[in-house]
Each structure stands twice: as structure tokens, then as C-alpha cells.
Structure 1
């Protein structure tokens, strides 16, 4: 087998120099040291002629342990997959052991891209990656949008902080998000124009002035002109306008512009009454309105970008889902956080306990929350981390009290996840489900030393309690251990670690998501079993009953599933 040994950096540059010299006429020489593209320590560049273009190939001081980049001299017209500074967006391989091959591969991909551009094969990229092209050349505060990608034309809401502008579908969403993220009510909510375009514009057509914006909306939007006109008629000091639309693939986009009113020669802000008074015979023309505004294109960020891996319909469905997590201890807190990060819009948390120092290595909340109720502290933390969540309601009491005081609460849920590790609480939940015929409930728990964890999905036609005796003892456990559990039941020690816990959290949260997405519809019992090394650390073993029923587990750990009888 041949092993490529990386060359010293100076030898790598010398080898690439020799390779370029060998190209003959296509090689146009090295970039001069004072070229702006070489600003920075240790950069080197070469020039070649290929496919009717001058192509620049640059490496930085880390080469050959970094990827070479290709540039075109900055063009006046936008080109697909070419950034504003002329850099080509390539996925060339990193080949630290062979610098010449790394350069050759980059040039080969650049040549293919130039050929595809010339053939028109990449024209749709301006719409597919609309947000990336829009952001090129944008400076200043970004616009951060929630739920506006692909949204229809409408009056929307926006607000500003010291570092960004924020846009939302409506005032309710704006105030809720702000309260979740910053813990206080928004100071001022403004009206915004959201305008849906039939076709997203080419970079050469991005509006630079207010009248160009108006002309774009006139050409590309069926219903946006009325909204934009009404906003401009109000002569605001500033206005956020968001353009939305879809790429040919169906990918949704949104991008914003900031309109600020100009000042007159005396440096005094133009008052609305002055503008209105300037035309006493009727409304101002759109040309007259537009000339009073400056326009700045904004880098646009999606506050809900994290949910983009799911289809749009599923995202909306999950945002409407109502899930109760009963028990917000080590396991339940992790399950609740995973569900929030997965897009569940409405969470209800139930736990009477207080955070203690013994919790901080295994609980989602750390030392800063010691002394606080787990459900209430977790609700605050999740809302701040995921401010787009619709609602998160804590109940700092046990589930028995909740059922007594709000007997209809669980009936409103799409799913209940019980992580109580308490037989009486689970029995109360199970009894409630039988009496009311649902909803579906997942019961999740861990065995001693976290050698195994379980998640059982119980449908309305089943009962969880039928798997246990009257005292809550199961007919079959998965593991046994020679090492006794802490006598204080974890009050002063941690009987398992965060890594073992992560498997249990993922097991229960995944089963919950599979149910909510329609992938698991029957009563099901999933079990995670630890690896052989962790089993030995705990002086544990698999029970004979488990081995007879399920067989020997994988020594690297595994998840198994069976029907819940």
C-alpha cells in the first residue's frame, strides 16, 4: 500500500509552482503579492486561462493542510455559485498528502462549473439559494424572521433590538417570542409589509431604491402592491419589508429590506404632516412617496431554521401538538428539552420537586437552578432557548394534584410522557387513561445503574398496570447488579452518569416523535441495553428471564422492540 506523506509547506508551494509552469500557455503567472485577494499572512495565488475566463487559484498559509479556492475576477453580472468577491463555491476535496492533486481537483471542478454556467444548467440556483445571494454585500444589523419563509402577502409585525431587526407573522407571535427570549414584554411592535413574489428575482434585479422595490412588487406580486402602498402612505420613519417566495424545488425563502426616511437639507427628519401637506389635491404619487426613502438590503436569518429538516406540513403539525411531560427529573427534563428542540409547539410540565446539588450532573438544569422547582425552572430555560415554542406551561405539583384540580387537562393532550419513576403516579395516570379512553401515553424509566432503560407506548385499548403486580413490581426485569443502589436513593450521590442517561432520553423522545409523526401507532415496548463494558463496571448481568425471552444482547449495546401485551 502506498502512503502519501504530506510535504513541508514550502515544498508544497514549490511543487505547485512547477505544475503550473508545466501547463504552458494557459498559465498566466502568479498573483502579485500586493493583490487584494492575497491580503493576510502567507497567501499565494496563480492565474490561468480556462473556458474563456481568467481563473485565480489561491491557497492560504495552512496549505497543503487546507483546501485551495478558485476565484473569478469580480464580474459586473451575478453568476450562479459565484460569491460577490468572485469566489467559486466548490466542494473540492482536501488532499494534504498531495498538494498538486488538490490544486488539479479544484481547477477541474471550477472548469465543470463554468461549463454548466455557460450551458444554463445552474440558472435555477439563484432561486434555490436565494437567501445566500441576497446576503452578499449586506452589512449592518441582520433581519431575523420567524415563520415567514414562503408566507403569503400580509401586514406583519416587526421590532428592533440593539443588534438586529425581528420579523413575525403577527403581533401575537412577536410578543410571545420576545417574552420567551428576553424575559420581558417588547417595547414597541411596528407594522411590516410581507410580500409574496411569484418568481424570486435575479441578483441583478435586487432593488437598490424604493422605486425599484415598488417596480419589482408590481411585476412579481399579485397582491403585494396594496400592502406596500398602504405602508408607504403612513410615511413611517422606518419600515421593514420582507419578500417571500418559493424556489422551483419548493424550497421556501424570505428576505428583508429596511426602508428609512430621508432627511431634508436642514437635517431635520421629514414629518408626515409635511409630506401630506405637500399635496392638497389628492394622494401622493408612488414616485413621490418612494423618493423620500433610502433602502438597505439586509442579511436575513430564519429564527426557525433549525426545523428545516422536516417537511413543511410536519413542522406545522408538530407546532400544533400538545404534549405533557409528567416528571421533570433527570430523564423527564431531557425528554422535554429534546421534544422542544424537535419542534413540539405546546409543552405541559409537571413535577413537585426542587432542584438539588445531587441533580446537576444528570439533570438538564445545572447549579444555577438549585433550590427552584424543576418544572417551573425547566419551562423558563426551554422557552429562553427555544423562543419560537408556542407555549410551555409548568405545574409545580404532583400529577395526582393536577388530575384533581384540572381533570380535563390530560384529555386535551395529543400525547402524555410519564417519566415519574413512581409507581403511584404512573398508576394514577394509567387509571385516568382507562377512565377517559386516552390519550396515548408513553411510560419511560431506567433500571438500577442505568443498565437498561425502557419506553412503553400504551394505546387507549391497553393498560400499563397490567404488566405489574399491585405494588408495581414487573414480572421480568432486564438486569441485575451485585453493586447495591445508594441507600439514600440518590439523595446525596449520583447512581448513574450523563452518558447512560442520554440513551434513555433519546429512547423515550424518539418513541414520542415516532408516534406524533404517525410512524408508531400500536402499543410498543422499546428497551435500550447498555454495552458489555458498562455492564461489567456495575458488576451487572442480564437476567435469565430476559435472556430466555430476548436472547443475548449486542456487546456494544442495542435497542430492541416488542409489542406491549
Structure 2
């Protein structure tokens, strides 16, 4: 009968295989034998096609067999090892249920040109791990440090629980929502209601039914032997959560005491981890009557109801997926997330620049974003807008906000049909109370109006103005802070910038076959650098890194400039300092202005680099 493992080995470089086998024999003190198809049958749903079995004598003088397992893509995909004579499931850490050893992280490096040393190193690490497990010192430590991994090996329910919780103590009462396709836990009903309305557009109040749940915070993660298999196991785990553990557990659950959701949290090696238990009692009438025996309906004391539920309940162990803002934005390790999640930003202009900047701010973790525009999306916008063809004919701001709200339910996203001028006239609260304003309208007059409002209100919050130069070859991000010049220092009376990096023989604006309609011919790729520049400066302003007015620029590749018959301005050449090939991020101090610095009114205007004023 055909043996595919043998065929694979026969097709491989025989000199490499011989060297591997020699090295294994030296390392392990015994001759390896090649695996056949029958040997590989125990590795279900694994991509292994061949390998070796090697007997090894360990420190307890017991011989155990280790399989070296190859995939069809070896050595590009690392080999694995497995302990054939392994103990029962979850007896040892780093040993999966089929004996495969977990030795390599998902970011490990190896020299794929040296398969002999790859195998030798893997076998050495495997033998060392097993010796340490036999010694026993690392077993409890590693089970606790990586308890999420081992809990997830022991799941008996594939359904996931999405968590909005702050993953730290103390033990407390929380709330849970059960939908047809997902379960969500949160600190309060209000938090859950807001998240669900953001996530599911159009969800009704009738669908927002919440139950009390329990969050048990443990001083030490549970061992596999402590994972609750029944009601008594859950009770014992609750006692490890301190004096409030059982009390909180008793108060939790649904109205008729037939089910209960428990989230268990503890600190692991890489940070806090959360797991879930769902306790479900029988819904049969006889069992419901038993739980209420001796009491009027709905009047069973919490402790008695809890004990009766646990007596016959089924325990489901589930995986928790964290959906809280610090986890979404940096997996709990980005120190900026707390500050950004409390911040609000307004983005004027929901076009090729503003729509992308709004998305970037939300991805960065800004907790409240308002997108402002009056235009409908057209097919000509689709190639460089965050919205696609399905949104054509809809208001850009409203539709983008609606979609982003679903994607970032932990944040607040609003769409407003306003111009800069109408928003100022309306004294809109979302504008006057914002922590940051971004102007990406592409309109000089709108920018001038915003600058006037900014000065009149005392420049209390920063405004970032962003725009691209013709063909997207260069771009600008200007932050006007509480000190330094305002926008008028480099903007003329019609709102156009007097400081540019590029110049062209002919006007770059192209007229559409319609009265007064012009557009700038560039695409999303050319805009990517400018959009990132604007978004980065906006985040820096929110984090207090750019309190003074500042100017950042992107100078694209010189080849792109030449393709469009342009050249660098004198100012650009000065800033590039001879690096005329471009592809550079530039910065300069924003000049003072006469309106915000009266002392300049009677003195000559300072020259910019190259002599242009």
C-alpha cells in the first residue's frame, strides 16, 4: 500500500535527511526511525506529512519517544515535536492534547537554509522542556502565567463572550446581554445599551434586555484542576475571590434564577486575562418548581436560589473576547489610549482627506469624532474616499459616521450636515466643546472663517488645517495652537496658502464638464502620506505634544513631480537641504502673524527661506 510519508522522505534531499538523522542520533543517544502514515494518524487536523520517532532517556531514567514532525513546507515552515508518551490532557503545560509541544512563538526566527541545525535545536529544547516538567517546578507557574491558553484548551462551548469590562479587581456585580449571535458583558446597563446601539444600527429597546452577572477577580489565576466542571467547582472558585465572591455570585443571574453568567479575571504573565462561565439550569416546569419550592414565585432568597440552580445546572466554559477601548487600541499596552479615548475631535470636510483622517483618528483611539460635510457621495469620489459605491447618493458625513459607529462601537461617531460657517453660526455644542478641530475642506474661505472663529473664541483648542498640493505630490499639516501665529500668517485674503513646496507650468485644477466644477487629479495612494501627516499631527495635539503653532509637510518623490511637469519651489529646496529626490517629511516653525502679534504691525514682515514673504 502506498505510504505518503515515505514518498515525501524519498523526494527530499537525501544528504540533508542523513545529516539530520546523524545529528538526532548524537543528540538523543539512539537511532531515529522514520514515521509512516499510521504513525501520523494521531495528529488530527495537523499538516504533518513525515518525520522521525526518537527514543530518549530522561533524567528519571525512563525512555520516552519524541516525534519530529514535518509539514510539506519544511523548512520554510518550522518542524514541530511531540511527546508520544505524554500524560493526560492539561497535566503538563506546553503539551497539547495530542502531545505536540509548544516551543516556538508566532514571531520566532530561524535560518531556513540550515534545516539540520533547526531540527537539532528543536530537539534540544524539547528534551530540556520535558526534563523541567519531570522536575515539576515550572508546572504550576506556567499554567498560571498562561492561564488563558489552557482555559481555551478546555472549552466546552464554542460561543464567545465579548467584554467591555475594565479587566481588574475588585470582584463586583456586572451586567450581561444575550443576543442570538453574541453575548456582551459590561460594567453597567448604560454602557451595554450605548455599545449595542452603536454596534447594531436600529436595534430596538425591546431587544435590550439585561441580566445581572458576576465578575470574580482572583489574586492568582486558576489551575486546570480548578476550572469549574460543575456547580461545586464554581462555588469553590468564588471563595478564592475573597469575602465578596459568593455574595456577588448569589445576587447575579436572571429573574427566575435559571441561568447565570460569570466572568473570571486574574493577572497573567503578559497582563490581565478574562474567561467566562455560563451556568444554565433546566427550563422544564418540574425543575423550575423545584427551584421555587417553599417560596412564592419570585421570592426565593438569592443564596437558596443559587444553591438550587447549581445542584443540577450545566456549566459551560467559554472564551472571552475583549472589546474594551484599551484592548482595541493597543491590546492594553498603549499608554496613550486612556487619554485619547477621553478626547473629542471635529473633522470638517468628509472628502478624500477628511474621511481618511476621521478613520485614522478612530483607529488611534479618539473616543468621540464628529464628521461634518454637506455633500453627497458621487461615483467620482469613490476611488479616494473611505466610502464605496454602496454609499453613492448618500450624505458623506452621515453615512461615514453610521458605518464607523458600527465598526467602533466603544467610541461615539456623529455625522453633521453643516458647512464651517453654519456650524459657527449655530454655536453647535459638538464644535464648541471639542478638544480638537481638523479642517480638511479644501476651501480657503472656510479655513479663513474657522480661523476667525478660533481667534474670537480665544484659541482654546488646537485646529489642524490639512491640504494637498497639486497631483498629491506634497501635502501640509498646520496646527494652530494656543500660542504662535494663526492661519493668516501664511494665507492670503482669499484663503490660499502663500507657502508651497511645488510649482507647475500650468494650473493643476481640472475642470469637469459642468459649470464651475473643478477637481485635483490625484488618487488615494498619492494622498496616503499627506493624510497620515495630518492625522499624526492631530493626535499629537490631543496628547499635548504640539501646543504651539507648527507646520509639517510631506515632499513626495521628485519623479512624480517631474511626471507632472513641476519643480520644487525655492522654499522647498531650502527645507530639503539638497535632497531634491524628495520622499521626505519636513517641519518648520510657523511664523508669527500681525493680527495675533501686534508688535509686528509696525515692523517689516520677516522673509521665508528663499526670500518669499
Is the TM value for this pair above 0.5? yes
Between the aligned partners of 2:465 and 2:245, the Cα distance in structure 1 is: 50
- SS of 1:192's partner is strand
**Cα offsets for 1:287-313 (capped at 9, x unmatched):** 544213111111221224332356476
Counterpart mapping for 1:101-112 below 5 A:
101-112=117-128
Counterpart mapping for 1:64-463 below 5 A:
64-72=75-83, 73-76=85-88, 77-91=90-104, 93-114=109-130, 118=135, 120=137, 124-138=141-155, 139-150=157-168, 152-185=170-203, 187=207, 188-231=209-252, 235-247=256-268, 251-262=271-282, 268=285, 270-271=287-288, 273-278=289-294, 284=304, 287-304=307-324, 305-309=327-331, 311=333, 314-389=336-411, 391-437=412-458, 438-462=460-484, 463=486
**Cα offsets for 1:401-439 (capped at 9, x unmatched):** 111113544231111111111112111211121111221
- Structure 1 pair 147/535, CA: closer, same or farther in 2 (3 Å)? farther
Between the aligned partners of 1:120 and 1:518, the Cα distance in structure 2 is: 48
Between the aligned partners of 1:222 and 1:520, the Cα distance in structure 2 is: 48
- SS of 2:228's partner is coil
Corresponding residue number in structure 2 for 1:541? 567
Between the aligned partners of 1:340 and 1:18, the Cα distance in structure 2 is: 56
- Structure 1 pair 161/14, CA: closer, same or farther in 2 (3 Å)? farther
- SS of 1:500's partner is helix
- SS of 2:464's partner is strand
Tell me by how many angstroms 1:502 deviates: 1.2
Q: Which moved more, 1:133-142 or 1:370-379?
A: 133-142
The answer to whether 1:44 aligns with 2:50 is yes
Correspondence for 1:476 among 489, 495, 499: 499
Between the aligned partners of 1:104 and 1:167, the Cα distance in structure 2 is: 47
- SS of 2:154's partner is coil
Tell me by how many angstroms 1:51 deviates: 4.2
Between the aligned partners of 2:569 and 2:367, the Cα distance in structure 1 is: 40
Q: Which moved more, 1:239-248 or 1:521-530?
A: 239-248
**Cα offsets for 1:470-499 (capped at 9, x unmatched):** 122333211112354243279687611111
Between the aligned partners of 1:465 and 1:402, the Cα distance in structure 2 is: 21
Tell me by how many angstroms 1:325 deviates: 0.8
Tell me by how many angstroms 1:131 deviates: 2.1
Tell me by how many angstroms 1:179 deviates: 2.2
Between the aligned partners of 1:285 and 1:167, the Cα distance in structure 2 is: 22
Tell me by how many angstroms 1:43 deviates: 1.9
Tell me by how many angstroms 1:370 deviates: 0.8
Between the aligned partners of 2:482 and 2:268, the Cα distance in structure 1 is: 43
- Structure 1 pair 268/43, CA: closer, same or farther in 2 (3 Å)? farther
Unaligned runs of 5+ in 2: 1-8, 592-613
- SS of 2:304's partner is coil
Between the aligned partners of 1:20 and 1:143, the Cα distance in structure 2 is: 45
Correspondence for 2:490 among 467, 485, 495: 467
Between the aligned partners of 1:41 and 1:413, the Cα distance in structure 2 is: 54
Q: Which moved more, 1:42-51 or 1:223-232?
A: 42-51
Corresponding residue number in structure 2 for 1:3? none
Between the aligned partners of 2:144 and 2:280, the Cα distance in structure 1 is: 27
The answer to whether 1:485 aligns with 2:505 is no
1:527·1:560 contact (CA, 8 Å) conserved in 2?
yes
2:346·2:436 contact (CA, 8 Å) conserved in 1?
yes
Tell me by how many angstroms 1:197 deviates: 1.6
Corresponding residue number in structure 2 for 1:63? 74
TM superposition outliers: structure 1 runs of 4+ over 6 Å:
279-282
- SS of 2:498's partner is coil
2:173·2:214 contact (CA, 8 Å) conserved in 1?
yes
Bigger-Rg structure (1/2)? 2
TM-score of the superposition, structure 2-length normalised? 0.82
- SS of 1:298's partner is strand
Between the aligned partners of 1:18 and 1:38, the Cα distance in structure 2 is: 25
- Structure 1 pair 95/51, CA: closer, same or farther in 2 (3 Å)? farther
1:358·1:492 contact (CA, 8 Å) conserved in 2?
no
- SS of 2:222's partner is coil
- Structure 1 pair 409/56, CA: closer, same or farther in 2 (3 Å)? same
Tell me by how many angstroms 1:363 deviates: 0.6
1:84·1:137 contact (CA, 8 Å) conserved in 2?
no
Higher relative contact order (CA 8 A, sep 6+): 1
2:483·2:547 contact (CA, 8 Å) conserved in 1?
no
Tell me by how many angstroms 1:233 deviates: 8.8
Between the aligned partners of 1:445 and 1:285, the Cα distance in structure 2 is: 64
Count of residues in correspondence between the two structures: 554
Corresponding residue number in structure 1 for 2:530? 504
The answer to whether 1:495 aligns with 2:521 is yes
1:198·1:245 contact (CA, 8 Å) conserved in 2?
yes
- SS of 1:66's partner is coil
Tell me by how many angstroms 1:214 deviates: 1.4
1:526·1:562 contact (CA, 8 Å) conserved in 2?
yes
Corresponding residue number in structure 1 for 2:600? none
**Cα offsets for 1:213-242 (capped at 9, x unmatched):** 111111233423211111259553332211
Tell me by how many angstroms 1:88 deviates: 2.4
2:346·2:437 contact (CA, 8 Å) conserved in 1?
yes
